[in-house]
Structures are given as C-alpha cells and as structure tokens.
Chains A and B, each alone.
Chain A
Amino acid sequence: MKRKAKSFLACALCVAMVAGTVLTGCGNSGGNDSKKEDTGDKKVITFYGFSDWVDTDPYKSVYQEVKAQFEKENPGYEVELQSDPWGDWEQKNKTMFASGNVADVFYVGNDNFPTFANSGNLLDLDQYVDKGYFDDFFENVRKMYQWEGKSEAIPFTTDCRILWYNKEIFKEAGLDPENPPKTWDELRDDAKQITEKTGKYGFGMDLGLKEIPAQSLICASDYSILDVADDGTVTSNVKDQAFKDYLKLLSDMKDTYEPDFTNLDHHDVAKQFAEGQFGMIIGNNLSETDIYDKDFWGQALVPTMTADSPQGSFGGGFGISVNSETKYPEQAVKFAQMLCDPKYNGDLVSDIPASNAGAANCAYAKDDKYAVIMDQIQYVRQAQPKTLYFNEVQAAVYDTVANVIVGGQDIDSAVDALDSQINDIVKQ
C-alpha cells in the first residue's frame, strides 16, 4: 500500500508541476501577441515589420520619432512596434495570418499582397483616406496594391535593378567602357566577348532564390507573362516569341556565368561584382557591398529587349496594410499614412519611397552616385500582374528557366510544358 501511495504521490507532484507551470504561464504572459490588451485607458495599435528597418539604426530612431509624433497627435492612443529578423519575418507573418492573430498595421510584401487581400484580412483604405491621396504614388507600384478595384495597402517602398558593369574588365575585353549594352543582343555579345577575351565571368547570374531569374530583362519590354482580362480570365503568354527569346538569351549567355550560379543569390553576385569578379550584373543599389569606395564601376539602365522596347526594371518592395478587424481603423490608417508620409518615408527604409514626393526627399535623390537608379525607378514594373497565382507562376517560371539553362531542355518543349502548367494553376 505504502509503495503504491508513494509512486502515486510522485506522479501527482509531476502533474501538479505541469499544471502549475501552465497556469502561471497564463498569468505572466506579458505583451506578446498582436491582439494586445489595452493598457489602462490607452488604446494600443500594434505594428509588425522586420527588424532590419523597425529595430535597426539608423531607421529605428525614425520609427520611434513617428510613433512619438503619432501619439502626440492622437492622444489616448499608443503604438507598439513589433518586429522579427528578416529571415523569420515572412514565415511568421503568414503564421499570424493563418492563426487569425494579425497586428493592426503591418508591412505586406508585394508578392503576397493578392493572397492577403483576397482573404479579406486587409482593410479597404479608400473610405479612410482623402480623395486623391494615392495620386502622387508611382502608378505601376500603386497598381500592385489594388485588389478588385480597392486600395488595400499604401505603397511604402520600391526598388529597381540597374545594369552595373566593370569598366576595367570592359577595357580589358576591348569594349568601350563608356558604352554599356543597351539591348539584349548587345548584352549577350558583350558578355561573351568579356568571357572570351579576359576569362572572367561576363554576366553575373543568380538562381539562388526561387524568383524569376533576371526578371528585370523581361520588364525592359512591353511583354507580360500573364494577361488578366476585365472579366478576370487569365491567359498565359509564355508561348510568345518574347518569352522564348528571354530563355534563349539566358541560355546563350550560360558560358559567361560563374559555374556555381544556381547556388548564388543576388547578394553573393553583388559582393563578387564589388570584388571585381564579374563584367556585368543586374543589381540594385549594392548597399551590401563597399562598391562606392572603388572606381571601376559604371551604371546604366537595364538593356531592353530590342532597341524600340520601352525602358523597364523589376521593382519589388512593400506596402503598409491595416488589419480589417482592427478596433481602431481610423487611427490605424492614420499611422499607416504617417509612415508613408514623404517627410519620414525615406528615412524609415533602405529602399526607395514609392511616391514622387517621398522619392524626391530620400537620401538617394540627394546623391549623384544614385542618379541612374533614380532614373530607372520611374520605369519599374513586374513581369506578371498581381494574381492569386503569383507565387505558383513565379515558381513554375523559375523551374522552366532552370530546366533550360541547367538541365539543357530544349526551349520549345520547355515552353509548352510551362504553358500547360500555368493553365493548370490558373484553372484551380
């Protein structure tokens, strides 16, 4: 009997310990999830972003400034800034969406915008902002954040890619260092000439991220991978000659890539360019490198498909959205607008503000070395419109490019396969 009692006692203790810890857990969980209880008579608005901006200097202090200013202008309200490191942010943001535990105001990546908007989780901003509020934002970027005719995010930032080239390598290859390629054909010829004459890598390609490779090249044309009709029907354009040309260009240049290119991402390529290892790359401002301390670099607009094609470059970036179930929509929208105010916008991000006034007021506009970037930024767009299948189409295009330039698949059959794959995706 005694024996039994003792073992039961031991187990009971363990159970009590577990139960106890769980219960005390409930008690002491302070300020955690985004649906935070209001403290005292303050009404709390939560904000969620990634710490590279929200919690890292020099941007951090500006976020604090905006928060203070907002709280001053809206007495009784308090903003709580939350953030996670870049590498965890997207997954966590989606986890929060999936579990219905979303912050009041948050960054939304342009790639995931259609998904979030379609779920009804994003507030329709048109009824809260003044008429004409969106007029000053870049047209192409603004369109990325509209869903079924409603504006559901304020364009916060964008960026663009330009052609970077190494003047010394150009000279070495017998090319004119003041005359970078302007079209796809010139790009191909120059890249090949560099590799043949110097043995260096002519063009810095990267397949390390599952995005459409060298997307800027497609953007520098009037071609789009998908068309969306007014009634919502989506058609695939991958059988167009333009897309085949894109695949052909990438596979023609293959010998000029660093052989490990499937494993490099754009940061690696940027850093290796800064070390003088590539003739040309398509990259953004290369802020991750020390390139501006060196003098061999030249910049140009992204080479266009043909001499007659319009300028273009891939522009990504983030919008600011408001949770459709926030308790204080009016103030939440105000805070979102404040973040996108040209006065603060440029100092809150390492990208470029997506409005004319904001862009004009940011650090890039004030420095000559970014002149080409500021020139290119007005032409940003993406190779496919915003649809619910955005990520699936992107992955399918990525796989096709890999099949062609890594696996050596023939372009026509690759394109046929991609076309039927996209039709399957769109049918769902």
Chain B
Amino acid sequence: MEKRSMKSAYAYLVPSTIIMTLMLGFPIVYNIIISFTEWTLKSSEKHFNGIDNYIKVLMDEKFIKILIITVLWTGINILLQMLIGIGLALFADHLTKGKKFMRVILLIPWIIPGTVTALTWKWMLQSDVGIVNYLLMHFNLTGQNILFLSDQNIALMTLILVHVWKAFPFWFLMITASLQNKPVDQIEAAVMDGARYPHILRYIILPHLSPIIASTGVLTTIWTLNYFDLIWLMTKGGPMDATSTLPIYTYRLAFEFNDFGRSAALAVISLIVVSLVCIPYVRKMFHNMKEEGVL
C-alpha cells in the first residue's frame, strides 16, 4: 500500500514539474551560471571569471545600504499588510449588513494594474499639482507641501504605504476564505462559557488561521521583496538611493550599466536574502504540516 501510494504520488507531480523545469528551472540555472561569468554588452564574448562578480557586488559601497533598505521595505510592508489584511477580514466577517459590499470594495486596489497604480499614486502625491497635498492643505492639516517622494526620510515609507494599499487585499482574501470554515462549534461553546472576544481570537481563531497566515506570509514576502514596478515607476530608487531595493539595483546593473554578470550575481545574492527571510515562515509551515500528519 505504502509503496504504491508513493509511486502514484510522483505521477501527480509530473505535469507541474515539466512546466516549471522548462520555464523556470532553465532560466534560473542559466542565471546562476551567468553570475560566474564575465558578461557585459560591451563584448560579445562571455568567459568564466569565478566569483569576481560576487566580489564586485559585495564591495560596492551601495550594497549595504541597498540591503538595509530591502529589509526595511519588506519587513514593514509585510507587517502592515498582514495586520491590516487580518484586521479587515475579521471586521468584514463580523458585519451583518454590507458584508458583500465591503468584500468587493476592499479587493479593488488589488485589481488595478500595477503600472497604473504606480503612476496614479505618483501623480497624486506630487506637490502643487498633486491632489493629496492640495486636500491636506485645504483642510489645514499641513501648512506646506509634503514631499512624499522627494524627501529622503519619508520616500520609502510613502512607497511602503502605497504598496500596502495595493497588496493588503491578498491577505484579506486569503484570511476571508479561511474564516469560512472556522470552528464554529468551538467558538459557540466558548461564548457559552462566557469567553470574551480577545480570548476567542487568541485561542481559537488565530490558531485556525495560522497555516494560511504562514503560507500567505511566505508568498507575500517573496512578492514584496521582488516587487519592481511600483518603486521603479515612482522613484527609480531615488532620492539619493533612499528607495533602492535589491531588484531595483539588479535591474539597473543589467539594463543601465549593461553588466549582466554582476546583475545575475546580485540576483543570486537577493535569492539568498529572501531565503533567509522566509525561513521562519517555512519552518512554521512544515511544523503545521507535521502536526497534521502530512509531512
């Protein structure tokens, strides 16, 4: 029984494996090879140069700054997305009226194309011609234009908030879906026993949500860290590299400085960074799966 089960399990994996190997496996391996190669558009020849690209990238004086910004960008982003997503999902779940309406409304930011989101927000946040500054000043909330994207101290936070606006709906959707089969009996029993909502939340609902929080966390961490459009279109990594994340610099190395070798090396480094960031979630996921007897 056990053996047979194993064999047919592999059969289920065949189609996805073929597609992924062909379309993702190959370019990733190719990319890793390139990272050990001297390859710029300046020359049509490529040759192996060991870890030169890695040394150059790591010695780059901007590297540490970019790394820190990447971690800040990802960390704050995920925290906010998660809190807002879960909070709103619980809120919407509680509503008796307007539940459906809220669900649709809260999902809308997600379906606006990334390019359009970035450009619209950029325009809204400009000084003088931007509507946000106009409204803030109109209602006397600030005396002068806030330089949302030009002030190096707040540009990153602005981008994070815009990205949270765009990305929290995914959390909202995942949590809402998971709340649909929350352990109603347990909750009712707890209510009977006079438990208060925070307790129910803490001991019944959150444990129920935890597997989906872990897997959504992994995915959104990866997506957020690698998110490119929004930053590129809104600030191009500026002002003064205050919003330069790893993908931004990777892109600039390849398509501004024409150095594909170094760009690939930075991509591999960013892969390692993301893996490190993801370890806690993945552990949690594997832990959950073990508990459920899946692994």
- Which residues of A does B touch, CB under 8 Å? 3-4, 7-8, 11, 14-15, 17-19, 22, 90-91, 94, 97-98, 100, 112, 114-116, 118-121, 207-210, 258-264, 268, 272, 277, 388, 391-392, 395, 399, 402-403, 406-407
Report the 9 A-B pairs with minimum CB-CB distance, sorted nearest first: A14-B15, A260-B127, A262-B239, A262-B150, A11-B11, A263-B149, A11-B14, A119-B44, A263-B150
Q: How far is the CB of B69 from chain A (nearest CB, A)?
A: 15
Complex alpha-carbon distance, A407 and B260, angstroms: 31
Interfacial chain A residues near B245, Cβ < 8 Å: none
Q: Are B43 and A263 in contact (CB-based, < 8 A)? A: no
Given contacts A207-B238, A407-B240, contact A259 B150 (CB under 8 A): yes
Interfacial chain B residues near A115, Cβ < 8 Å: 40-42, 258
Interfacial chain A residues near B149, Cβ < 8 Å: 260, 262-263
B18 CB-CB contact with A under 8 Å: yes
B255 CB-CB contact with A under 8 Å: yes
Q: Are B256 and A395 in contact (CB-based, < 8 A)? A: yes
- Which residues of B does A touch, CB under 8 Å? 4, 7-8, 11-12, 14-15, 18-19, 22, 40-44, 122, 126-129, 145, 147, 149-150, 152, 235-236, 238-241, 252, 254-258, 260
Q: Are A4 and B44 in contact (CB-based, < 8 A)? A: no
Q: How far is the CB of B70 from chain A (nearest CB, A)?
A: 19
Interfacial chain A residues near B238, Cβ < 8 Å: 207, 210, 262-263, 402
Given contacts A268-B126, A272-B128, 7 further A-B contacts (CB under 8 A): A4-B7, A90-B255, A91-B255, A94-B255, A97-B41, A210-B236, A260-B149
Q: Are A119 and B11 in contact (CB-based, < 8 A)? A: no
Most B Cβ at <10 Å: residue of A114, A258, A260: A260
Q: Are B41 and A94 in contact (CB-based, < 8 A)? A: yes
Q: Are A8 and B8 in contact (CB-based, < 8 A)? A: yes
Interface SS, B side: loop
Interfacial chain B residues near A391, Cβ < 8 Å: 256-258
Interfacial chain A residues near B44, Cβ < 8 Å: 100, 119-121
Q: How far is the CB of A322 from chain B (nearest CB, A)?
A: 16
User: Which residue of A11, A100, A395 contacts B12 across the interface (Cβ within 8 Å)?
Assistant: A11
Query: Which B residue sits closest to A272, measured CB to CB?
Result: B129
Complex alpha-carbon distance, A115 and B41, angstroms: 6
Complex alpha-carbon distance, A277 and B127, angstroms: 12
Complex alpha-carbon distance, A142 and B15, angstroms: 56
User: Which residue of A3, A98, A272, A399 contacts B240 across the interface (Cβ within 8 Å)?
Assistant: A399
Interface SS, A side: helix
Complex alpha-carbon distance, A388 and B11, angstroms: 53
Given contacts A4-B4, A7-B8, contact A388 B42 (CB under 8 A): yes
Complex alpha-carbon distance, A209 and B147, angstroms: 17
25 pairs, CB–CB < 8 Å, chain A vs chain B: A7-B8, A14-B15, A18-B15, A22-B22, A98-B260, A100-B44, A112-B258, A115-B40, A115-B41, A116-B41, A120-B43, A210-B238, A259-B127, A259-B150, A261-B150, A262-B150, A263-B147, A263-B149, A263-B150, A268-B126, A277-B128, A399-B241, A402-B238, A407-B152, A407-B240
Interfacial chain B residues near A98, Cβ < 8 Å: 41, 260
Q: Are B145 and A260 in contact (CB-based, < 8 A)? A: yes
Interfacial chain B residues near A94, Cβ < 8 Å: 41, 254-255, 258
Q: How far is the CB of B202 from chain A (nearest CB, A)?
A: 42
Q: How far is the CB of B231 from chain A (nearest CB, A)?
A: 13
Q: How far is the CB of B90 from chain A (nearest CB, A)?
A: 37
Interfacial chain B residues near A262, Cβ < 8 Å: 149-150, 238-239
Interfacial chain B residues near A114, Cβ < 8 Å: 42
Interfacial chain A residues near B257, Cβ < 8 Å: 391-392, 395
Complex alpha-carbon distance, A17 and B241, angstroms: 47
Q: Are A260 and B15 in contact (CB-based, < 8 A)? A: no
Interfacial chain B residues near A15, Cβ < 8 Å: 14-15, 18
Complex alpha-carbon distance, A260 and B14, angstroms: 54
Complex alpha-carbon distance, A355 and B189, angstroms: 86
Complex alpha-carbon distance, A268 and B128, angstroms: 12
Q: How far is the CB of B143 from chain A (nearest CB, A)?
A: 13
Given contacts A258-B127, A260-B128, contact A18 B18 (CB under 8 A): yes
Q: Are A207 and B42 in contact (CB-based, < 8 A)? A: no
Complex alpha-carbon distance, A258 and B44, angstroms: 44
User: Which residue of B129, B239, B252 contacts A207 across the interface (Cβ within 8 Å)?
Assistant: B239
Interfacial chain B residues near A263, Cβ < 8 Å: 122, 126, 147, 149-150, 235, 238-239
Complex alpha-carbon distance, A392 and B240, angstroms: 16
Q: Are A259 and B258 in contact (CB-based, < 8 A)? A: no
Interfacial chain B residues near A100, Cβ < 8 Å: 44
Q: Are B8 and A4 in contact (CB-based, < 8 A)? A: yes
Complex alpha-carbon distance, A403 and B239, angstroms: 9
Query: Which A residue sits closest to B259, measured CB to CB?
Result: A392
Query: Which B residue sits closest to A210, measured CB to CB?
Result: B236
Interfacial chain B residues near A14, Cβ < 8 Å: 14-15
